[in-house]
Amino acid sequence: MNAEQQYIDLFSQTEAMICQHSTEVMNTPRATAFADFERFGFPTRKQEKYKYTDVSKFFEPDYGLNLNRLDIPVNPYEVFKCDVPNMSTSLYFVVNDAFYNKSLPAAHLPEGVIFGSLKEMAEKHPELVKKYYGKLADTSKDGVTAFNTAFAQDGVLLYVPKNVIVERPIQLVNILRGDVNFLVNRRVLIVLEDGAQARMLVCDHAMDAVNFLATQVIEVFVGENAVFDLYELEETHTSTVRISNMYVKQEANSNVLLNGMTLHNGTSRNTTEVLLAGEGAEINLCGMAIADKNQHVDNNTVIDHAVPNCTSNELFKYVLDDQSVGAFAGLVLVRPDAQHTSSQQTNRNLCATREARMYTQPQLEIYADDVKCSHGATVGQLDENALFYMRQRGIPAREARLLLMFAFVNEVIDTIRLDALKDRLHLLVEKRFRGELNKCQGCAICK
């Protein structure tokens, strides 16, 4: 039985159960998504977009799914104690693919702001969720998005009304918990109305040493003059596979910062597609990956300049050790009417061993004649002259290598517009390079 057939059979047998434990808004596109999945199946290397990661093979094993929505015996507020100095956040949790609502933070969000279970909020605010859910994540174009839409039963909704500023950063922690090999399907829907502002930190952790496979679809709508920062930090383990598709739409004069940091993982495949739909929109798209052993990190990005006078800045850096593999494919598309576009794309990579492999594919498609665009990529090793210079001044070889690698990725960390998180990332990255576990201070999960 191929990977697709077992899930086709499963959906056919459990569709009623899946819908019963979800909500009408999420159930409405389910049949269409399943039909798209039957037609496309899981992506393979034969598809240009997925040529560096054979996604289909990760779905072949037999995973458990919690389609009957049984309670997971864990209180994340007791086991997870994030201690980031000087960073006061509104802390929420998703356990596997269900929003944890048995205990919520005492801090109140501004009036009108909605944050909570996508399932519950779709029942309370059906017209709001219906207006946005599934509108960017096109199931007819991607097999993983179709699969996720067919099976997802819950997720997270963030809604910020017009001109509302959320001062306190929102922190969402995704916890993977299971006694057997487990598959989860998460959804995240983020909507900022005109003039709204918010910052969000999403952390991925795995509690148990079993094989986890997580699919995730994120849809982000950013209105005119709105400002939104989204930071993603993955610190799981080598038996975790994470496949995440993010779709972003920006209106006029909006400003968005996306920064995805992979500090520890098994296999990660991240897709980010940004549509600049209003004049004056600006996207800063950044990423960093530190990998060793046989870890695999693949980032695929598309920035679509659909209108004039928009700006995009893209920066991705990888540090690869041992037999790890990295991949980056970034497309910047400038459409015929998108005059006065300003775009810069940079990918820099370090391979610390001869066995490490990096694949990079920067791409520019320009159909307008009055633009300022550049792109570039490099793959290399540590500067031997710099190492020699540091050793001549009494710095041990290992310490010199660590300092150079830290300086290399520091540019990505410095794009963070949240000082407490920036300071914390400096410490976590240093610990990662030293081979220490990436423990959040005081976190029982990471111990």
**Of the candidates 229, 253, 121, which has an alpha carbon nearest to the alpha carbon of residue 167?**
229
pLDDT at site 103: 75
- Residues 146, 151: Cα–Cα separation, whole Å: 9
CB under 8 Å to 235, separation ≥6 — which residues?
203, 204, 205, 263, 264, 428, 438, 440, 446
SS3 425: helix
Reading the chain (447 residues) residue by residue, the pLDDT tens digits are 588 999 999 999 999 999 999 999 999 999 999 999 999 999 999 999 999 999 999 999 999 999 999 887 777 777 666 545 556 788 899 999 999 988 777 668 999 999 999 999 999 999 999 999 999 999 999 999 999 999 999 999 999 999 999 999 999 999 999 889 999 999 999 999 999 999 999 999 998 889 999 999 999 999 999 999 999 999 999 999 999 999 999 999 999 999 999 999 999 999 999 999 999 999 999 999 999 999 999 999 999 999 999 999 999 999 999 999 999 999 999 999 999 999 999 999 999 899 999 999 999 999 999 999 999 999 988 777 777 777 777 777 777 777 888 888 999 999 999 988 998 898 889 888 887 754 444 454 444
For 44-67, letters b (16+ CB in 10 Å) and e give eeeeeebbbbebbebbeeebebbb
* 419-433 vs 397-413: helix crossing angle, rounded to 10: 150
pLDDT at site 47: 92
- Residues 141, 144: Cα–Cα separation, whole Å: 9
pLDDT at site 106: 64
Would you mind telling me the total number of residues written for the chain in this entry? 447
Report pTM. 0.94
CA atoms within 13 A on the CB side of 184: 28
**Of the candidates 63, 45, 74, which has an alpha carbon nearest to the alpha carbon of residue 213?**
63
pLDDT at site 208: 85
Edge-to-edge order in the sheet of strand 170-176: 98-99, 90-95, 170-176, 197-206, 227-235, 255-264, 282-291, 311-320, 342-351, 372-380
**Of the candidates 217, 267, 262, which has an alpha carbon nearest to the alpha carbon of residue 52?**
267
pLDDT at site 102: 82
Q: How far is CA 341 from the centre of its chain?
A: 26
CA-to-CA dists, residue 369 to 252, 281, 327, 342, 358, angstroms: 22, 19, 30, 12, 33
- Please give the biggest Cα pair distance in the chain: 70
Q: Report yes or no: 43 and 146 within 8 Å, Cβ to Cβ.
A: no
Phi (first) and psi of residue 221, to 5 degrees:
-115, 120
The 3-class secondary structure across 170-212, one letter per residue, is EEEEEEECCCCCEEEEEEEEEEECCCCEEEEEEEEEECCCCCE
- Residues 374, 371: Cα–Cα separation, whole Å: 10
- Residues 139, 144: Cα–Cα separation, whole Å: 8
Alpha-carbon Rg for the chain, nearest whole angstrom, is: 21
- Token digits for 147? 């699969």
pLDDT at site 351: 93
Residue 429 identity (one-letter amino acid): V
Residue with tokens 């999420």: 26
- Residues 47, 342: Cα–Cα separation, whole Å: 30
Residue 377: beta bridge partners? Answer: 347
pLDDT at site 384: 75
- Token digits for 23? 């909500």
CB under 8 Å to 73, separation ≥6 — which residues?
none
Q: What is the dihedral of CA 273, 279, 280, 285, to 10 degrees?
A: 0
- Token digits for 265? 């993982």
